[in-house]
Amino acid sequence: MMTDDLSTLLHDAVADVEPADRLDEIRARTASPMRSAARPWFYAVGATVLATAATVAAFAVLDRDDGGDAGPSHHGHDQQTQLVAAYYVGDTPMGPRLYREYDEVPAGDPLQAALDRIEQPASDPDYRTSWTPDSFGDVTVDEDGIDVELGVNDLSDDLAVQQVAYTLQAAAGERLPVWFWLDGQRGNRPYDAEPENDVLNLVSISDPAEGNEYEGSFTARGRANSNEGTVVWEIRQGDRVVKSSSTTAEGSVDRLYRWEAEIDLTGVAPGTYTFVAMTDDPSDGEGPGPFTDTRTIVVR
């Protein structure tokens, strides 16, 4: 089981671009073969307005203090494995949105590993994926952005496309345009990660990971967009709230910001619990209700 060990930290790379040499290394590993210049095989679908390449390129120039949180503590990580940020679909008071979890996968190309990961079920049973095994082929990076080979001819689900865009941009450490290819032909336009407030669940947990074991205390962290930055947390066993308090994120309103809380387990008996993080609900129940994220934890 994983424990609260700060030996490995991952950054939310959609918000915080990692060092450029990482992207150069990925590009070198995944240099794209020559592709057909034939007519694009699909056109825009649904109501989503897709960014042009010029618009997407502008997103690469970001304020590096825009609130990405450190990723999860991880125990036992070595050169045989790596951590990837994978985005999955889950239910919220305002319909399905994306949730993020960090998963340990075999070492290698981080983009391919992240893409392969979202073809599989999430570690958190509350999440689901929009993609089936063999939905994707190779993923490569070049000067035009991220290229993804598709095994299915269907991009009609906007949230499914966003699942890919968020996951791959996090793996690349840069907001690069995502191009989809089918049978050697590139789509007619790129996709970018849409604004967080429109796509993401408004609170996320980076730590603890699903199934972590603790004794004494642990550090919880994540990102949220909540009223006045207030993030409420609870430790529950069934319907019973064993312990609760709140912390304050680094900001609010325009996007998700980092939050962190030290959780004292004094008085919490050994057993299995649910750690819950939620947004503040200033409407007193008249609005859609708080956004929540949960993790199963074990107290020793």
Q: Nearest Cα to 166, choosing from 49, 9, 13?
A: 13
> Which alpha helices (H) appear in the chain, and where do they start and end?
20-29, 53-59, 110-117, 158-172, 196-199
- The answer to whether 92 touches 17, Cβ cutoff 8 Å, is no
- The answer to whether 100 touches 204, Cβ cutoff 8 Å, is yes
- The answer to whether 70 touches 11, Cβ cutoff 8 Å, is yes
Question: Could you tell me where in the chain the CATH 2.60.40.10 domains are found?
Answer: 202-299
Give the whole-angstrom CA distance, residue 232 versus residue 247.
6
Give the whole-angstrom CA distance, residue 121 versus residue 246.
31
- The answer to whether 253 touches 216, Cβ cutoff 8 Å, is no
Predicted pLDDT at 21: 37
Q: How big is the CA angle at 88 (ends 199 and 55), to the nearest 5 degrees?
A: 40
- 166: how many CB neighbours lie within 10 A of its CB? 28
Helix (H) and strand (E) counts in the chain:
5, 14
Predicted pLDDT at 154: 83
Phi, psi of 6 (to 5 degrees): -90, 25
Give the whole-angstrom CA distance, residue 67 versus residue 64.
8
Give the whole-angstrom CA distance, residue 166 versus residue 148.
13
Phi, psi of 129 (to 5 degrees): -110, 150
Phi, psi of 290 (to 5 degrees): -70, 150
Predicted pLDDT at 79: 78
Tell the CATH topology of 202-299: Immunoglobulin-like (2.60.40)
Taking every pair of Cα atoms in the chain, the longest distance, rounded to a whole number of angstroms, is 66
Predicted pLDDT at 289: 92
Q: What is the full per-residue pLDDT of the chain (300 aa) written as tens digits?
A: 443 332 333 334 344 333 333 444 444 444 444 343 333 333 333 333 223 222 222 222 233 234 455 556 544 555 799 999 999 999 999 999 999 999 999 999 999 999 999 999 999 999 999 999 999 999 999 888 999 999 988 888 999 999 999 999 999 999 999 999 999 999 999 999 999 999 999 999 999 999 999 999 999 999 999 999 999 999 999 999 999 999 999 999 999 999 999 999 999 999 999 999 999 988 777 788 999 999 999 999
Q: How big is the CA angle at 16 (ends 92 and 251), to the nearest 5 degrees?
A: 55
Q: Nearest Cα to 64, choosing from 118, 114, 13, 105?
A: 13
- The answer to whether 190 touches 164, Cβ cutoff 8 Å, is no
Predicted pLDDT at 43: 30
Which residues are 141's β-sheet partners? 146
Predicted pLDDT at 73: 52
Give the whole-angstrom CA distance, residue 262 versus residue 231.
13
Give the whole-angstrom CA distance, residue 273 versus residue 245.
16
Predicted pLDDT at 144: 84
Predicted pLDDT at 95: 98
Predicted pLDDT at 69: 58
* Cis omega (within 30 of 0) for bond into 282: no
